[in-house]
Amino acid sequence: MFQIHLHMLKNRTSLKKQQYTVLIAFLFVPTILLLLFVIFPLVKLFEYSFSDWNGITKIYNYIGFDNFIKVFEGMPDVWLSLRNNALYFFVHLFFIPVEIIVAYMLDKKIKGAGIFKKMILLPFIINGVAVSYMFSAFFAPGFVNGALTMILKSAGLDFLVRNWLSDKEVVNYSLVFVSLWRYSGFHVILFLAGLQSIPGELYESARMDGANEFRIIYHIVLPNIITVIELVLFLNVRGALQVFDIPFVMTNGGPGHASSTFTFYTIETAFKFNNIGTAAAMAVVLFLLIIIVSKIQDSLIKRRRA
């Protein structure tokens, strides 16, 4: 009897060793990739941010916080680019209620909802560069080439015609419109996925109690999709601060630096002016901004939950 019990213990020990071996084997490759492509570049980024490396020579000097001081005091275009990023952030933020309402309507199984779901996700699937080129033609100033200008003139609204991509007053609004067109459908699909997890009995009970659609959305929909809202808010923060492809392709940051974003200006500093040290400091600032704004949003969401 003792030998049988001892044999069972040995089998259990052997099984545990096999499980640990399999676990380590599966985690080894992802861990190495994480260290190689995430942790190591992040450490080097912080290192370069305290240096004067130009990206070409092997030798560079450590200059302390000079790059960070330069970013905030010696580069006025940084504040302009951050203001442009803020425009992307707030426009997308204020559009979230519209996205929730659209998702709520689609969840009610309206006629043609299936086709609309596929169409609304299509802009997100299309390559960003292709989207940018498409809207470059849409906003072109000429009557023949610019679809928007042609539509306005055909409707007798000539006074609304602008140089959509070369006028400093309207260029950022044109680019934000493109960003909304591309990403709002993806947000609607995320909200729709959250709505479909809400039990139908909650809606029926609310309607039996006399609740209108506004009260249903406020008291049932929003509390039950709060996790999805948190995800969309985080995507909004990250996306707004990392906008690059749309202004790069459509305006190249112009006219002047009027439509440049923080990421665009960072890449320009690194590869156009060969100032990797300052660009690394800007990337660190961007990294910290994403964390700070996300934490502020999380705290506001937690208060809402409480």
* 80 within domain boundaries: yes
Q: Within this chain, do residues 36 and 80 fall inside the same structural domain, yes or no?
A: no
Residue 54: inside a domain, yes or no? no
Strand-pairing partners, residue 51, are 62
Q: Please give the residue range of the domain that contains residue 300.
A: 67-305
Q: Would you say residue 64 has pLDDT above 70?
A: yes
The pLDDT score that the predictor gives to residue 283 is 93
pLDDT digits (tens, 9 = 90+) for 243-259: 999 999 999 988 888 99
Confidence of residue 27 (pLDDT cuts 50, 70, 90): confident
166: phi then psi, degrees, rounded to nearest 5 = -125, 0
User: Predicted confidence band at 305 (pLDDT cuts at 50, 70, 90)?
Assistant: low
pLDDT digits (tens, 9 = 90+) for 129-184: 899 999 988 888 754 567 888 888 888 888 888 888 888 999 999 999 999 999 99
Tell me, yes or no, whether 78 lies in a domain.
yes
125 and 172 share a domain?
yes
Give the per-residue pLDDT at 2: 47
The total number of structural domains in the chain stands at 2
Q: Is the pLDDT of residue 199 over 90?
A: no
Distance from C-alpha of 119 to C-alpha of 113, rounded to nearest angstrom: 10
H helix or E strand, kind and range, residue 88: helix 76-107
C-alpha pair distances (Å), 260 with each of 5, 176, 266? 73, 12, 10
Please check whether residues 44 and 71 belong to one and the same domain: no
pLDDT greater than 90 at residue 91: yes
How far apart are the C-alpha atoms of 289 and 157, rounded to whole Å? 42
Is 182 within the bounds of a domain?
Answer: yes
- Specify whether 26 is located in the same domain as 83: no
The CATH number of residue 276's host domain is 1.10.3720.10
Does residue 74 fall inside a structural domain?
yes
Number of neighbouring beta carbons within 10 Å of residue 26 = 10
198 pLDDT above the threshold of 90:
no
How confident is the prediction for the chain on average, in pLDDT?
85
Instruction: Quickly state the pLDDT bin for 30 (edges 50, 70, 90).
Output: confident
Q: Are residues 26 and 174 in the same domain?
A: no
128 and 26 both lie in a single domain: no
Q: Is 62 part of a structural domain of the chain?
A: no
Residue 144 lies in a domain: yes
Rounded to an integer, the average pLDDT of 46-54 is 92
Does residue 135 share a domain with residue 197? Answer: yes
pLDDT of 204-241, one tens digit each? 888 888 888 888 888 888 888 988 998 998 899 889 98
Answer whether residue 262 shows pLDDT above 80.
yes
